[in-house]
Structure 1
């Protein structure tokens, strides 16, 4: 197999790089295989409620909208739970940097599937943040007043006792969580299809519990560098 060669690279560098390239090719195949298995999943459970969310309408006033109306022309919808409840003085910095990256992709994504960001804060507060961040392409919805967050693990309220222990949620305490959930509309009914559950899975020694890296340009770009992500660095809302 022929490989690229950069100016003045050593033979040792090229040998090591070629070996790494082989592993990268294997990883690509594994990612594609996992994605194929994800697409082959049977439909999950039927959504128990036609949840009512709040959004800003075309008249720039808050309006109620049902989950069934959020699909638009599509049969598939992605909802991202954003950790920015009314009890938070500022949004989760991890969620915020992720959404900074996703906003530009949203106008392309919505050619294939509906996409909305949901959070517990009132819609006016969410829109104020969107203006501050310069988000232009994402649809933001408030879940204030519905039970979507608990049902689909955008918060910790419906974790089992064992899951609360595993996830270090103290008795009597709850908080909002970040998770992607995908829904499919078929024959007039809405079904859950997939959720980014790895964040709630049994901890694996030596692995971080993160679950949304595949959608995160920041971490993927840093993984290309010799310094990597760093052991302690984490993005902030403001610098």
Structure 2
């Protein structure tokens, strides 16, 4: 394989970079293998109810919308649980920075699948934050008190005792969580297809859980730098 050569690089640098390139190629192949296995999953569990959400309608007024309607013209629906419930004074900075990046991709994603961002706050509060943040492409939807977050781990209410201990959730308390869930509609049935469960899996010490890395441009850019991620975590504002 022919390799690039940058100005004034040493032979030691090129040898190390070539070895790293081999690892990067192997990682790319592994990502493709995992994606193929994901696509080949058997049908997931049937969604037990047509959850009713709330969104801003065409007349800029709140309207009720069923989960089945969120698919629009598509057979695939992606819901991302945004940690911005009514009990939160401030928006989750991790979720917010991720949605900053996804907003740009949403205009393209809509050509292939339906994508909506769900949170427990009232729709007016979500719409106000989207406007302030400049999210012009994202569709924010309120769970409006339905059971979606509980059923699909957008909160901690169905966590096992072990998971509660792992996430340090005190007994008698619950909070919202972040997770992607993908659903497939076929023959009038909606079934769960996949969820980003890796965010709840154990990690090695000092290891980032990396559950949403493939859709998060910030972490990918930081991984290109000499400093890496370090202990950096994004803020909602840097004033």
TM-score tier, shorter chain, comes to over 0.9
Q: Which residue of 2 aligns with 1:45?
A: 45
Q: Distance in 1 between matches of 2:170 and 2:208?
A: 20
* Alpha-carbon distance, 1:209 to partner: 2.7
Determine helix, strand or coil for the equivalent of 1:102.
helix
Determine helix, strand or coil for the equivalent of 2:38.
helix
Q: Distance in 1 between matches of 2:202 and 2:6?
A: 43
Which segment drifts farther, 157-166 or 108-117?
Answer: 157-166
Work out whether residues 83 and 119 of structure 2, in 8 Å CA contact, stay in contact via their aligned partners in 1: yes
TM-score (normalizing by structure 1) = 0.97
Q: Which residue of 2 aligns with 1:18?
A: 18
Q: Distance in 1 between matches of 2:23 and 2:202?
A: 26
Determine helix, strand or coil for the equivalent of 2:190.
strand
User: 1:47-81: per-residue Cα shift (whole Å, max 9, x none)?
Assistant: 01100000000000000000000101110010000
Q: Which residue of 1 aligns with 2:185?
A: 185
Determine helix, strand or coil for the equivalent of 1:225.
coil
Determine helix, strand or coil for the equivalent of 2:182.
strand
Q: Which residue of 2 aligns with 1:235?
A: 234
Q: Distance in 2 between matches of 1:208 and 1:229?
A: 9
Matches within 5 A, 1:205-224: 205-224=205-224
1:6 maps onto 2:1 in alignment = no
Q: Which residue of 1 aligns with 2:176?
A: 176
* Alpha-carbon distance, 1:203 to partner: 3.5
Q: Which residue of 1 aligns with 2:118?
A: 118
Q: Which residue of 1 aligns with 2:131?
A: 131
Q: Which residue of 1 aligns with 2:147?
A: 147
- Give runs of ≥4 in structure 1 deviating > 4 Å: none
Q: Which residue of 1 aligns with 2:72?
A: 72
* Alpha-carbon distance, 1:205 to partner: 4.0
TM-score (normalizing by structure 2) = 0.97
Determine helix, strand or coil for the equivalent of 2:192.
strand
User: 1:121-160: per-residue Cα shift (whole Å, max 9, x none)?
Assistant: 0000001001111000011000121010000000001112
Q: Distance in 1 between matches of 2:128 and 2:57?
A: 15
Determine helix, strand or coil for the equivalent of 1:182.
strand
* Alpha-carbon distance, 1:206 to partner: 4.7
Determine helix, strand or coil for the equivalent of 2:121.
coil
Which segment drifts farther, 6-15 or 202-211?
Answer: 202-211
Q: Distance in 1 between matches of 2:18 and 2:160?
A: 47
Q: Distance in 1 between matches of 2:158 and 2:211?
A: 19
